[in-house]
Each structure stands twice: as structure tokens, then as C-alpha cells.
């Protein structure tokens, strides 16, 4: 969780320019161009779920996918290079934040289209079943995605074919600049899953141990051939929709209440209550994460830009300009 938090803080600074979280002058120009959607405050969901995933398991993410990618085992330096648009990035610097993928650890990609990761996850899980693999697919999506068509299509397909997929609704209560609650009919993600015959379980998404416990049971059931499951993790998006969004449309009291349930602070309190954990140990974790991400930022700053010819690679040939 502290690795994810450090990464998001550094990426936020790099997208805004100014001085980094490490006290290093970043200059006035932003190093990260384009939309940057942060998962600050949602670290417990990514960490609690991905702790149960194996390297061969698949994962699909959202436009807010840095935390999922790190939790699945991707390298922070290559991720930061991708955000900076540099050649060593996971997509050669051409995809940016919303298209990070690392197939080597089963991370099939972040996605800039709301709900688009759901059918991709179901397709991946169907392939796993047809190939006789024991691996599963975890599919992260937000509360706004449950009001889009692919949500129902994906859950229905997964249920009909009893696919090995864990749907994870990362309910941060906001769909861009609109509160999700008033825009959602009925009782939400878990109720809709149940209507498709998919067992669902709620969890406090800001309590990493609660998420970890719920995910352990659901992942175990999916892995044993029980078919799809859904975890509804209630968390909060403490930042704006993108890194330069001040989110003035939110009630300050609501934000303050959410900050009081910060998942890292809560986990720290839980661990300090244990007899064999010291504050020094936790402080060292914080320092280690900060140094790791500081090194990732330095690597991204020093990395080369992609060659101009790379603009013509990985592009579909539509054939002699027929699209015109």
C-alpha cells in the first residue's frame, strides 16, 4: 500500500510540475502529459485482492489502474517511464497512464473506457477455462461502470459459462464529477450480481485486512471451480477525477470524513496493536517505498524518448487509405 501511495504522489507531482514529494525541483513543465487518474486512498482494495493472485492469474483494470498494476507485480520504474512517455515504458511511452499493461505478470491492461475491462476479463477467463488452466481472472471496475451495458453482459456471460473470474467493484462513490449514489437504481453492484446468480460479498474497502479476508474466500471459491464471484469494496476517491482537478464539487465535510478512514493509517494502527510490530518497522517500509519510487522517477527523467519511427509501429494497416 505504501508503494502505491508513493507512486501516486510522485506521479501527481510530475503531472503538475513544481517540487516533487522528495523535495527535488521538478521544473515548471509537467513531466506527465495528458489525463492522470490517481488511486490515492484506494490502496487497500488493490493490495487486499492481489495478495491472493498468482503470477499466472490475469487482471484487468480501469483508467485508475496504477495501484492494481503495482499490486500485480509490475515494475515501478517501467511504469513511471510509461507515464513520462519514455522508450523503456511498458508500451514504449506511447500508451501512457491509461494503457499500462504487463503481460509477464498477467496484467492485461488499464483501460480508458469505463466498463471496457469487464468483457475483456470475461474473455480471458473463458480462455483459461477452455485451455484447462487452474488460473483465474480478477476484474477491477468502478461504481460508475455498473450503469453501463458491458457490466450486465459480462456478468451474464460469466455466470452462464461458470467462468473463473472475480469481479471487484472498487466503489469510490464518484463517477468523474457526479456522485454515483443518486445515479444508481436499486441496491448497487452486489444486488445486480445476485440477480445474475453470482454470489457477492461486501467489504470495507478502506480496511485492507477486511478486503484480504473477503478476497481470500472468494478467490478460493473461484479457483475451486465455483464459478464467478463479486466483491463490492466500498472506498473513497480522495483526489479529483484527474490530477489537476481540485474537486470543488464535493462537500469538504465528506472528504474530511473519508480522510479519517485512510487505509494506510488504519493498517498502521492495526499492526502497532500487535505485540511483534514496532513503529520503526513500519517507518522503514515507508522509507523503502519512498526511495524505490524516487529511483523510478529518476530513471524516467533519464530515460530516452522513443525514436520518431516508433510512431509508425504497432499501428493497424487499414489498407491503401480505404478508410477515407
User: How confident is the model at residue 324, as a pLDDT?
Assistant: 54
Share of the chain above pLDDT 70, in %: 94
**Does the pLDDT value for residue 18 go beyond 70?**
no
User: How confident is the model at residue 321, as a pLDDT?
Assistant: 64
Write down the number of H helices and E strands in the chain. 11, 8
User: How confident is the model at residue 121, as a pLDDT?
Assistant: 98
Asked, for residue 26, whether it belongs to a domain, the answer is no
Distances, alpha carbon 108 to alpha carbons 90, 133, 204, in Å: 12, 17, 26
Domain at 150, CATH number: 3.40.50.970
* Cβ–Cβ < 8 Å for 196, 157: no
User: How confident is the model at residue 148, as a pLDDT?
Assistant: 95
Counting the structural domains of the chain, the total is 1
Task: Kindly report, residue by residue over 258-309, the tens digit of the pLDDT.
Answer: 999 999 999 999 999 998 889 999 999 999 999 999 999 999 999 999 999 9
Asked, for residue 196, whether it belongs to a domain, the answer is yes
User: How confident is the model at residue 322, as a pLDDT?
Assistant: 62
Asked, for residue 12, whether it belongs to a domain, the answer is no
Mean pLDDT calculated for residue range 206-211 = 98
User: How confident is the model at residue 242, as a pLDDT?
Assistant: 92
Task: Kindly report, residue by residue over 78-123, the tens digit of the pLDDT.
Answer: 999 999 999 999 999 999 999 999 999 999 999 999 999 999 999 9
pTM (2 d.p.): 0.92
Maximum distance among all Cα pairs of the chain, rounded to whole angstroms: 70
* Cβ–Cβ < 8 Å for 20, 7: no
Indicate the SS3 state at residue 310: helix
Mean pLDDT calculated for residue range 165-185 = 94
Buried b (16+ CB within 10 A) or exposed e, 26-36: beeebbbeebb
Task: Kindly report, residue by residue over 37-89, the tens digit of the pLDDT.
Answer: 999 999 999 999 999 999 999 999 999 999 999 999 999 999 999 999 999 99
Mean pLDDT calculated for residue range 234-249 = 93
Region of 163 (left: φ > 0; alpha: ψ -120 to 50; beta: rest) is beta
Asked, for residue 250, whether it belongs to a domain, the answer is yes
DSSP state of 304: P
Asked, for residue 20, whether it belongs to a domain, the answer is no
Residue 248: phi and psi, rounded to 5, are -70, -10
Query: How many Å apart are CA 124 and CA 103, to the nearest integer?
Result: 12
Q: How many CA atoms lie within 13 A of 76 on its CB side?
A: 23
User: How confident is the model at residue 22, as a pLDDT?
Assistant: 41
Query: How many Å apart are CA 31 and CA 240, to the nearest integer?
Result: 19
**Does the pLDDT value for residue 27 go beyond 70?**
no
Please state the separation of Cα 29 from the chain's center in Å: 26
* Cβ–Cβ < 8 Å for 14, 84: yes
Residue 256: phi and psi, rounded to 5, are -60, -40
**Does the pLDDT value for residue 20 go beyond 90?**
no
Asked, for residue 292, whether it belongs to a domain, the answer is yes
**Does the pLDDT value for residue 132 go beyond 90?**
yes
Q: Give the domain extent around 267.
A: 31-304
User: How confident is the model at residue 320, as a pLDDT?
Assistant: 65
Asked, for residue 317, whether it belongs to a domain, the answer is no
Asked, for residue 19, whether it belongs to a domain, the answer is no
- Length of the chain equals 324
SS (H, E, C) 201-249: EEEECCCHHHHHHHHHHHHHHHHCCCCCEEEEEECCCCCCCCCCCCCCC
Amino acid at each position: 500500500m505504501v508503494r502505491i501511495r508513493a507512486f501516486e504522489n510522485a506521479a501527481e507531482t510530475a503531472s503538475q510540475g513544481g517540487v516533487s514529494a522528495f523535495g527535488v525541483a521538478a521544473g515548471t513543465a509537467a513531466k506527465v502529459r495528458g489525463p492522470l487518474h490517481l488511486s490515492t486512498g484506494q490502496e487497500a482494495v488493490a493490495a487486499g485482492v492481489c495478495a491472493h493472485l498468482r503470477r499466472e492469474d490475469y487482471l484487468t483494470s480501469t483508467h485508475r489502474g496504477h495501484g492494481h498494476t503495482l499490486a500485480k507485480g509490475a515494475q515501478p520504474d517501467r511504469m513511471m517511464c510509461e507515464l513520462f512517455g519514455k522508450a523503456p515504458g511498458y508500451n514504449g511511452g506511447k500508451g501512457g497512464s491509461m494503457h499500462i499493461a504487463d503481460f509477464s505478470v498477467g496484467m492485461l491492461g488499464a483501460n480508458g473506457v469505463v466498463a471496457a475491462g469487464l468483457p475483456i476479463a470475461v474473455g480471458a477467463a473463458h480462455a483459461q477455462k477452455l485451455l484447462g488452466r487452474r488460473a483465474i481472472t480478477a476484474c477491477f471496475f468502478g461504481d460508475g461502470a455498473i450503469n453501463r451495458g458491458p457490466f450486465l453482459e459480462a456478468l451474464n456471460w460469466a455466470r452462464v459459462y461458470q467462468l473463473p473470474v472475480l469481479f471487484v467493484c472498487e466503489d469510490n462513490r464518484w463517477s468523474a464529477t457526479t456522485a454515483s449514489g443518486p445515479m444508481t437504481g436499486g441496491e448497487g453492484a452486489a444486488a445486480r450480481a445476485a440477480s445474475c446468480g453470482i454470489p457477492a460479498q461486501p467489504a470495507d474497502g478502506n480496511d485492507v485486512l477486511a478486503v484480504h479476508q473477503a478476497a481470500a474466500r472468494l478467490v478460493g471459491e473461484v479457483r475451486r471451480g465455483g464459478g464467478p464471484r463479486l466483491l463490492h469494496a466500498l472506498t473513497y476517491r480522495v483526489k479529483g477525477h484527474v490530477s489537476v482537478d481540485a474537486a470543488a464539487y464535493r462537500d469538504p465535510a465528506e472528504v474530511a470524513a473519508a480522510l479519517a478512514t485512510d487505509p494506510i493509517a488504519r493498517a498502521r494502527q492495526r499492526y502497532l496493536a500487535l505485540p511483534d510490530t514496532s513503529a520503526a518497522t513500519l517507518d522503514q517500509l515507508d522509507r523503502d517505498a519512498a526511495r524505490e519510487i524516487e529511483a523510478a522517477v529518476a530513471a524516467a527523467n533519464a530515460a530516452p524518448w522513443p525514436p520518431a519511427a516508433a510512431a509508425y509501429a504497432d499501428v493497424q494497416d487499414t489498407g491503401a487509405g480505404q478508410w477515407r
